Amino acid sequence: MTQYQFIAKTLAGFEECLAQELVSLGAQEVKPVVRGVSFSGDTALMYKVNYQSRLAIRVLMAVQSFPVKGERDLYHSIYGIAWEDYLDKGGTLAVDAVTQHPKMTHSLFIAQLAKDAIVDRFRNLEGQRPSVDLDSPDLRVHVHLDQSGASISLDSSDMPLFKRGYRIGAMEAPINEVLAAGLLELSQWDEKTPLFDPMCGSGTFLIEAAMKATKTPAGKFRKEFGFMKWKDFDYKLWDRVKNEADALIVPLAVEIKGSDISRRTITMAKRNVQEAGFIGNIQIEWQDFFQIKKNFSGFIITNPPYDERMKLKDMESFYKNIGSMFKHICTGSEAWIIVSAPEAMNAIGLHPSRKIKVFNGSIECRFLKYTIYQGSKKDSL
Ligand SMILES: C[S@@+](CC[C@H](N)C(=O)[O-])C[C@H]1O[C@@H](n2cnc3c(N)ncnc32)[C@H](O)[C@@H]1O
């Protein structure tokens, strides 16, 4: 099978985890780059990474790279690519661009120029041009421009891969699915220790953990991937890749539970859990974390609210309560918490044994680990 070059994009800080995941999926020449990993492989691998990767946001397949002197140069090089091999004249197209070029700094302009080059080629060669569809095109083209030149690639995922297809109920601040999966990976949860998210919101950690523990492909509930609309889509190969991955799914054999103070959110979490096929396996209940009396000994992972509108004093006492709950009703647990405000981290009042810098969207956060021993003085300030 023909070998291609790919870049799988991910969130900052998860490049190494994604590289390991890609190696385990069979990728070759795996190399972490900024917010991504480059690798090589065949079409089957491209389908497989789209279907199974928990940490990739999209998978770009390289088409051509070339040096660029200026706008005309860029236009002519893109015009020269045999776009008719990838797209029908009556098809639809979208072009995204990212530029780090010192002079050509306007990404929207570059995307427009690239789109013009592609449609001009069709019009001149075939007398008809594809139309633009930014939401759901047959072909999504990606242009990356920097000082060394342009790289043109095709987005084999189209809709970002964090859109897993199980989230039907969203709340105000759900954590991104790839971030949740990445944090689970960083925490090295062993998939055997009971897992609890006491502020579970829409249930993302719970579902991502259950999917990981059952080896459910991350894309199991997605209806579509970009490559399915490509001219060369090989549905038999796709079926094989999908069936091979699905055959590895095992029943959930670990306790996973979540709770939240908001009844509305709990309803949504239950709907999402149901959509992901884990209803009856993941326990979700309405509960104020600060009112829990029974000790939980296991693995805790959570993403408490951080609201910029929250008064500092309220925020400090909220996070102080979290620290106190960890200490008093979570003895014997390993607790991981993602926190953005330094004041909140201090307010927890326990010594984290690990602090990992991560980003939640554009917000810099710390992913903190607390090992909570019974009566240990090491953990308290
Ligand atoms: C940032 S959201 C969590 C998002 C979640 N990780 C998700 O994927 O949807 C924080 C959650 O904490 C919940 N919360 C706030 N105070 C709480 C408390 N005292 N006990 C339990 N849950 C609480 C909120 O209702 C909200 O759902």
Q: Is the four-CA dihedral 374, 377, 379, 381 of positive or negative sign?
A: positive
Which is it for strands 282-286 and 28-33: parallel, antiparallel or unpaired? unpaired
Atom 16 (ligand 1) nearest CA: 261
Instruction: State if residue 305 touches ligand 1 by the CB under 6 angstroms criterion.
Output: yes
**Residue whose entry in the numeric block shows the structure tokens 């200490």:** 327
Give the pLDDT confidence score for residue 309 in this predicted structure. Answer: 60
Written as six digits, the tokens of 167 are 């989230």
Give the pLDDT confidence score for residue 140 in this predicted structure. Answer: 98
User: Residue 131: which residues within 8 A CB-CB, separation 6 or more?
Assistant: 92, 93
Closest ligand 1 atom, residue 198 Cα? 21
Task: Please identify every stretch of the chain with a pLDDT value under 70, giving residue numbers as ranges.
Answer: 169-171, 308-312, 375-381
Q: What is the pLDDT of residues 233-291, one digit of tens each?
A: 999 999 999 999 999 999 999 999 999 999 999 999 999 999 999 999 999 999 999 99
**Residue whose entry in the numeric block shows the structure tokens 């062993």:** 190
User: Residue 347: which residues within 8 A CB-CB, separation 6 or more?
Assistant: 315, 316, 317, 318, 319, 320, 323
Give the pLDDT confidence score for residue 85 in this predicted structure. Answer: 95
Q: Which of 164, 182, 183 lies closest to 302, judged by CA?
A: 183
- Rounded to two decimals, the pTM is 0.95
Instruction: State if residue 302 touches ligand 1 by the CB under 6 angstroms criterion.
Output: no
For residue 192, how far is its CA from the centre of ligand 1 (angstroms)? 24
Q: Say how far apart CA 347 and CA 355 lie, in whole Å.
A: 15
Q: Taking each helix axis as running N to C, give the angle between helix 107-126 and helix 71-79, from 0 to 180 degrees, rounded to the nearest 10.
A: 40
Residue pair 142/118 in contact (Cβ under 8 Å)? The answer is: no
Within the chain, where are the H helices? 15-25, 43-52, 71-79, 107-126, 177-187, 204-213, 235-246, 263-275, 312-329, 342-348
For residue 350, how far is its CA from the centre of ligand 1 (angstroms)? 21
Give the pLDDT confidence score for residue 377 in this predicted structure. Answer: 45
Closest ligand 1 atom, residue 173 Cα? 1
Q: Provide the 8-state DSSP code for 350.
A: B
For residue 304, how far is its CA from the centre of ligand 1 (angstroms)? 5
Atom 13 (ligand 1) nearest CA: 199
For residue 305, how far is its CA from the centre of ligand 1 (angstroms)? 6
Backbone angles phi, psi at 216, to 5 degrees: -75, 125
Closest ligand 1 atom, residue 289 Cα? 20
Residue pair 325/289 in contact (Cβ under 8 Å)? The answer is: yes
**Residue whose entry in the numeric block shows the structure tokens 């998860």:** 14
Q: Is 188 exposed, middle or buried (0-12, 13-18, 19+ CB in 10 A)?
A: exposed
Q: Say how far apart CA 206 and CA 204 lie, in whole Å.
A: 5
Q: Say how far apart CA 197 and CA 168 lie, in whole Å.
A: 20
Q: Say how far apart CA 33 and CA 18 lie, in whole Å.
A: 11
Atom 3 (ligand 1) nearest CA: 201
Q: What is the pLDDT of residues 160-200, one digit of tens each?
A: 999 999 998 666 778 999 999 999 999 999 999 999 999 99
Give the pLDDT confidence score for residue 308 in this predicted structure. Answer: 64
Give the pLDDT confidence score for residue 380 in this predicted structure. Answer: 41
